Every structure is written in C-alpha cells, then in structure tokens.
C-alpha cells in the first residue's frame, strides 16, 4: 500500500490528544510508534481494501496535516483503531481549523474562530474574523466529515438530524438557510469525502454549489474501486482565504 513517509505526516493538536489516550502509556507517543502500529495493521490485512494515499496539496504544512487526517480515517474505516474520546467529525473540524490557520498565517488581520454551538452562529463551525471589516467576519464555514446522497429532497424533512446533516439533500437546504441568516458573508462547506455512486447522486452533490458559496472536498476521489485510493487536495481553500 502507498503511504506517505512519516516526515510527511502531521497530526492536529486534538488528534495528538486522541493518540495519547489510546493504548498503553507509550504505544502512540511518537509518529515512529504510530507508524510501527500502521505497518503491523497492514501486515495483518486491515488495509486490503485500500491502495494508499496520494496528495496533490502544494503547501507543505497543509499537505502533512491532510496526510495525518487521511491516516486517521484509514485506521477508522478499516477498524484497526477505535477512537476513545473524540469522534472523527470532531477531528475533522480540528483539521479544518488548523489548515485555515496555516493558510491565513500571512494575513495578520484575519484569524479563524471556532464557533460551534455559540449563540447566533447556528449552522457554522468556524468564522474568519477580519479586524479591518466593520462586520467583524467575512467567511463562515460548515464542516462535514462526509456527505452521503441516499435521500431525496422530498424525504429529507422526515429524516433524523444526523441524516439531514450528512446528506446532499439536507445540506442543500441548510446552505440556503445559512446564507439567508448571514446575507452579507460568504458561506463555505468543507467535507473530507463525498459518496457519489451514480449519476443521480452525483447531480445531487453538484447542486450543492448553488446553495453554498464554496464546496471543498478534500478527498476528491469519485471512484468506488476496491481497493480505494485517497486523493487529497484543497485548492478551493485559497479562494476562501482571498474572501477573508
């Protein structure tokens, strides 16, 4: 299986906290130990359905963070690791926050703030503050670990909040609601993966661009081949940075 070298991988602060909770006191305390565990999992057949990770991101620090999250995702989907404290969606939110910090580091007037569950920010996980902007912030971001397509627009109101929050149909409606709530800001959806299994589902996903100012899919592999190859990029992140 094709994996990045250990020096081309980094984990977010929240991911490191999760690693330190797993195993005994020394099992996951360094990238070298984590890689020893990964190689053991590969030898034991955990990754037979995966062919590896390809990364097209040009920023070195962001590339390492994307690789780190893809490794977490690989271990999760294969069943090799059960995360004990933080769910994968929360680790993904942390990834988005840290990549935003890196992308914005040369823009001293801008910084990303985590606003999930803050009053007045329903439907957003981050806003990017701009000290020169009289409105305070210009860009709001909703994070989703993945987007599924199985529900129709007519069915979505009868579904659970989890299904509404992870289906293209639900996020289509949520995008318009969020833009109505914040009409003078740019609103972006960032997801790690999107399951596009047929033409109908792909069209439903494609319609999301009408409901959000930007839709960023970090793992943009649209194939359902077995074994699976992660294809990582976040080119549209820089478009979002320009808005900030």
Q: What is the pLDDT of residues 105-117, one digit of tens each?
A: 998 899 999 999 8
Which ranges constitute the DSSP H helices of the chain? 13-21, 31-43, 60-78, 88-103, 161-166, 168-181, 199-206, 208-211, 237-243
What is the C-alpha separation between 174 and 191, in angstroms, rounded? 14
| Mean of pLDDT over the chain | 89
Which whole number is the average pLDDT over 196-218?
88
Comparing 19-23, 150-154, 210-214, 233-237, the range with the smallest average pLDDT is 150-154
Answering whether pTM is above 0.85, one says yes
Number of Cβ within a 10 Å radius of residue 136? 11
> For the purposes of burial, counting CB atoms within 10 Å of the CB of 96, is it exposed (0-12), middle (13-18) or buried (19 or more)?
buried
What is the C-alpha separation between 68 and 71, in angstroms, rounded? 5
């Amino acid at each position: 299986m094709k994996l990045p070298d250990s020096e081309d991988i980094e984990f977010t602060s929240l991911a490191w906290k999760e690693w330190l909770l797993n195993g005994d006191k020394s099992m996951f305390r360094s990238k070298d130990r984590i890689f020893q565990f990964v190689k053991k999992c590969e030898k034991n057949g955990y990754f037979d359905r995966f062919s590896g990770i390809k990364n097209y991101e040009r920023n070195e620090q962001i590339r390492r963070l994307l690789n780190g999250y893809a490794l977490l995702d690989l271990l999760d989907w294969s069943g090799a690791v059960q995360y004990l404290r933080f769910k994968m969606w929360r680790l993904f939110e942390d990834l988005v926050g840290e990549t935003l910090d890196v992308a914005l580091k040369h823009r001293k007037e801008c910084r990303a703030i985590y606003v999930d569950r803050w009053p007045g920010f329903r439907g957003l996980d981050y806003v990017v503050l701009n000290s020169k902007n009289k409105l305070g912030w210009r860009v709001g971001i909703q994070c989703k670990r993945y987007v599924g397509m199985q529900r129709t627009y007519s069915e979505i109101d009868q579904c659970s909040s989890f299904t509404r929050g992870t289906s293209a149909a639900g996020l289509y409606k949520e995008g318009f609601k969020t833009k109505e709530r914040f009409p003078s800001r740019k609103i972006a959806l960032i997801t790690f993966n999107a399951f596009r299994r047929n033409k109908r589902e792909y069209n439903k996903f494609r319609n999301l661009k009408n409901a959000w100012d930007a839709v960023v899919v970090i793992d943009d592999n649209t194939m359902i081949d077995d074994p699976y190859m992660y294809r990582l990029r976040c080119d549209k992140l820089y478009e979002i940075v320009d808005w900030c």
